[in-house]
Structure 1
Amino acid sequence: MTNVVLLRPEDNCDTTTRRTRLIRAFASERRQQGDVFWMKENAELLGMLASIGAALDAEMLEPLVAFHSKSRNMLRDFPQYYRFILSLCLDLEELGLPELYGAALCDEVARVGLEGMELSDLQRAEARRLLRRRAVGPLVGEGALGERLHNFITRSATFAIPNRKAAYELTHIVYYLSDYGRLDPSLPEKALLSLQFTGLLAFLDQDMDLLAEVCAALRFAGVAPARSWENSVAECHRASRIQADTHAPVQDDYHEWLVTGWAIHIAGRPLRPQHLSDGALRFKCRSRGQGALRPLAECLSDMGAQRSADWGHMRPHVLSYLGPDSHAVLLAAEQSGPHFEKFFEGFARARG
């Protein structure tokens, strides 16, 4: 299956104006063009625009034309950043710049064997996904690497306990297997359960950045996320604030703003237009609040050996322990789908 979740690009001028402004802000107003943090931010922005089929043109991408034209020299001088360079070049060519350099970059990366410099299977998977965009090398899910990736994402017990590194690796493996929604990743049920467990943890923690990533991954896998999860992601995005402030720290909430808006778009929900002032943009998302994850863990810790993996048995003890806000979040998590009891079995870490 192809074009799993690609949406029809918008045609209205307001969307075009906002995206032009956003591209300029990321390309030339937040960081020094070409440094690694600049590459990371711009690769994430362009990757998300490409994945939703955004309709751009060369004029909108003008602030990035110079980087595109220098991409082969950048790869020669900074091979350690080859994944960022490849990602930026390939997305720029997908979004509207001429296809002048992407194929040559992929051939050069494969010829030199830059994937071999990676110790992480996740980074090797990303490299494969990028090279396949120009039909170079094996598919992400093939061979020994593919087997290891699938073994990781199908071990659902991993994702029933808090581990942000594992959680983000899970979502990104799904992104690479699905080519960000362009292909059907054909995930087995255990991998889908891993995503559900990760979503429950993110929702309990009110971590909207991770929850948005899980919602996107589920959509790419052909599964509609819990409505309450996507509602929370949408509320987070609507509550964010964007301002032009050169004195504010550049280490801001841009990623949470970006990924929550991306997940809303993938879900086919309308995005509320947000004013983008002239100047160096800074992004501020609302505080996540306490959530229920930490109080739930504290409750289980206090119970010690008396804890049980049976949610039906533990439910009254837990609910009586939590404060009002955490209580409401936990009830919403429980009611978000059919997986909470199974999730709790792993989360409780009860003996016997």
Structure 2
Amino acid sequence: MSNIVQLNVPSLRQSHQDRYGALMQSFAKHRRFGDDVFWLKENAELLNILECSGAKVGEDALMTYQGFYAQVEKRLQFFPQYYRFLLSICLDLEDLGMAGSKGAALVDWVAEQGFAHAELSDLQRMEARRLMARRGQDPFARDGGLEDRMRQFIARSATFAMPNKKAAYELTHAVFYLSEYGRKDPQLDTETRTSLEFTGLLAFLEQNADLLAEVCIALTYGGFAVPEIWKTWLVRHTHLFDVESGGQVTPQDDYHEFLVCNWMMSTCGQQGFFKPMAHDRMAFFRPEGTAGPLRELSECMYNLDEARTDDWEAMRPLVLDQLSEDAQVVVSWAETSSDKFGAFFQGFARTSLALVAM
């Protein structure tokens, strides 16, 4: 007699609304608990993606957050340092369909307290402005240079020809805020498009799906075409994600990459969040073997010393000869994916940054 193993797997016939509901319940009730800042971060990210993707969520899914919504004023009063997370969650819940209008009162209170003026960076100021503008407040109405400074930063493409994760994510988020997450034309110039493509090339060379997905979304919001090679790789990568469920799974996973890859799918006209979801603790793991050749390429260029030039056509045979076969394939695909690869390589080679020895 054969043994029958019953798997606790959601039905493959789950509706989109059921999958959204399971995701929301998992993030709200099972992955993190209490007033953990990571709970705030994860739920703010999930709800923001669902809201700006136009997801249709059910009333039961929204009720998962009823306890949070009922006490959001108390949380904001005691944890004002997290006002951006708290506002984001509250506003997204209301805009996704939760009954209530607390968001406007909270935004007014945050404006009265001047929390946005305690932000150190222009990017955080832009985020605060975007959040509060959703309920009619602009904390930086007198700062006419805020957007100009942000545009100057994202238009300096040389910044994005070299690996710099902090700058790369600031670039994508600047586009998100300027476009109000795809709701308006951010009027990006050609230099900013180049910045995005340089960042995308670095992400592709690293096989960094998290960053590449954000770049593709930013390109779409900017009204620019997404390179087909990047999109094809990301779609395959997203389909290969492993979703595990049960009390034993760890929240130390690749949830953010999973969220932004599915967001990219939705933004580019494909079905996002298509995998079956459980109304339980879930963890999300990227496919194995996704490390890219960026480090190998960087080490190769560094060790070339005086033989290094910024001419990709001249350097191509020398560089490829020193890379592994897998690295050669990815570099070749990267080169094919964008007509800006030669210009990108000029900055990546760093031959113009001469430093006189002291």
Alpha carbons 1:171, 1:213 under 8 Å: kept = yes
The reply on whether 1:234 has 2:235 as its aligned counterpart is yes
Q: In the aligned structure 2, how far is the partner of 1:190 from the partner of 1:208?
A: 23
Q: In the aligned structure 2, how far is the partner of 1:243 from the partner of 1:219?
A: 31
SS in 2 for 1:34: coil
Q: In the aligned structure 2, how far is the partner of 1:153 from the partner of 1:99?
A: 37
Alpha carbons 1:244, 1:282 under 8 Å: kept = yes
Aligned to 1:330: 331
User: Unaligned 5+ residue runs, structure 2?
Assistant: 1-12
Alignment of 1:246-261 (within 5 A): 246-261=247-262
After TM superposition, the runs of 4+ consecutive aligned structure 1 residues lying more than 4 A away are 138-142
- CA positional deviation for 1:290: 3.4
- CA positional deviation for 1:295: 1.6
CA RMSD of aligned residues (A): 1.8
Q: In the aligned structure 2, how far is the partner of 1:229 from the partner of 1:21?
A: 29
Could you report, residue by residue, the CA deviation over 1:162-214 in whole angstroms, capped at 9, with x for unpaired residues?
00010001100111111111111111111111000000000000000000010
Distance 1:313 1:286, change over 3 A: same
Which structure: larger Rg? 2
Q: In the aligned structure 2, how far is the partner of 1:99 from the partner of 1:141?
A: 31
Could you report, residue by residue, the CA deviation over 1:271-324 in whole angstroms, capped at 9, with x for unpaired residues?
473122342111111135332211211111111021101111111111111111
Aligned to 1:44: 45
Alpha carbons 1:243, 1:276 under 8 Å: kept = no
SS in 1 for 2:187: coil
The answer to which structure, 1 or 2, has the higher relative contact order (CA under 8 A, 6+ apart) is 2
TM-score, length-scaled by structure 1: 0.93
Aligned to 1:88: 89
Q: In the aligned structure 2, how far is the partner of 1:223 from the partner of 1:288?
A: 30
Count residues in correspondence. Answer: 341
Aligned to 1:56: 57
Q: In the aligned structure 1, how far is the partner of 2:15 from the partner of 2:143?
A: 42
Alpha carbons 2:123, 2:174 under 8 Å: kept = yes
Q: In the aligned structure 1, how far is the partner of 2:56 from the partner of 2:79?
A: 30
Alignment of 1:98-113 (within 5 A): 98-113=99-114
The residue identity in structure 1 corresponding to 2:176 is Y
Q: In the aligned structure 1, how far is the partner of 2:221 from the partner of 2:142?
A: 15
SS in 1 for 2:125: helix
Q: In the aligned structure 1, how far is the partner of 2:227 from the partner of 2:53?
A: 21
Alpha carbons 1:240, 1:283 under 8 Å: kept = yes
Aligned to 1:5: none
Q: In the aligned structure 2, how far is the partner of 1:116 from the partner of 1:187?
A: 26
The reply on whether 1:128 has 2:129 as its aligned counterpart is yes
Q: In the aligned structure 2, how far is the partner of 1:54 from the partner of 1:71?
A: 23
Q: In the aligned structure 1, how far is the partner of 2:145 from the partner of 2:273?
A: 44
